[in-house]
């Protein structure tokens, strides 16, 4: 029975001691300790957050770099392609120009050759005509130098007429 009979004295001292220790600890232990724990937790959380932010920033920076690099590469490719196009175009143009010039020259040459030829042919004809006349004159002069010969010719010519 003594076990379950609460003693007045113990309750009395318990109330005093517990009240006292609650008050003292609350004031001098729990408040500072809990405050410090809280502060430390916030500072740790902040440190973690800022690390996370730095990581994010790093990531975005890296992504930016990647993008710039990609753009540069693209631009380079574009420039190379443009250069190649221009070169090809130039070569093609040069080729067509050269071909045109050739053709023109050939045509001109042909024209002039033709003209020259015509001129030469005409000259030749004239020369041949002149030569033929001179020869005919000389022949005539030689044939008809004596009377007999003139008579023989007339006779021959007459003979031919007779035959007809």
Burial class (CB in 10 A: 0-12, 13-18, 19+), 114: exposed
Q: Is 161 in the site for other proteins (CB under 8 A)?
A: no
Neighbouring C-beta atoms of residue 155, cutoff 10 Å: 10
**Of 18-26, 100-108, 110-118, 127-135, which segment contacts other proteins by CB under 8 A?**
18-26
Q: Is 157 in the site for other proteins (CB under 8 A)?
A: no
The interface with other proteins within residues 61-120 (CB under 8 A) comprises none
Q: Is 29 in the site for other proteins (CB under 8 A)?
A: yes
Q: Is 51 in the site for other proteins (CB under 8 A)?
A: no
CA torsion, ordered 149, 155, 156, 158, to nearest 10 deg:
150
Which pair of structure tokens corresponds to residue 31? 């408040």
Chain positions contacting other proteins, by CB under 8 A: 2-15, 17-18, 20-22, 24-26, 28-34, 36-37, 39-40, 43
């Amino acid at each position: 029975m003594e076990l379950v009979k609460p003693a007045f004295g113990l309750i009395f001292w318990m109330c005093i001691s517990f009240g006292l220790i609650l008050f003292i600890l609350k004031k001098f232990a729990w408040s500072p300790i809990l405050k410090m724990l809280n502060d430390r937790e916030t500072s740790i959380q902040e440190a973690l957050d800022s690390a996370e932010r730095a990581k994010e920033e790093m990531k975005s920076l890296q992504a930016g770099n990647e993008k710039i690099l990609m753009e540069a590469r693209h631009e380079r490719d574009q420039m190379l392609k443009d250069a190649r196009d221009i070169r090809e175009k130039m070569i093609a143009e040069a080729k067509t120009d050269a071909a045109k010039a050739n053709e023109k020259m050939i045509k001109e040459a042909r024209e002039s050759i033709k003209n020259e030829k015509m001129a030469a042919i005409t000259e030749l004809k004239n020369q041949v005509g002149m030569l033929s006349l001179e020869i005919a004159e000389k022949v005539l002069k030689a044939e008809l130098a004596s009377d007999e010969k003139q008579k023989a010719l007339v006779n021959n010519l007459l003979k031919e007429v007779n035959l007809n």
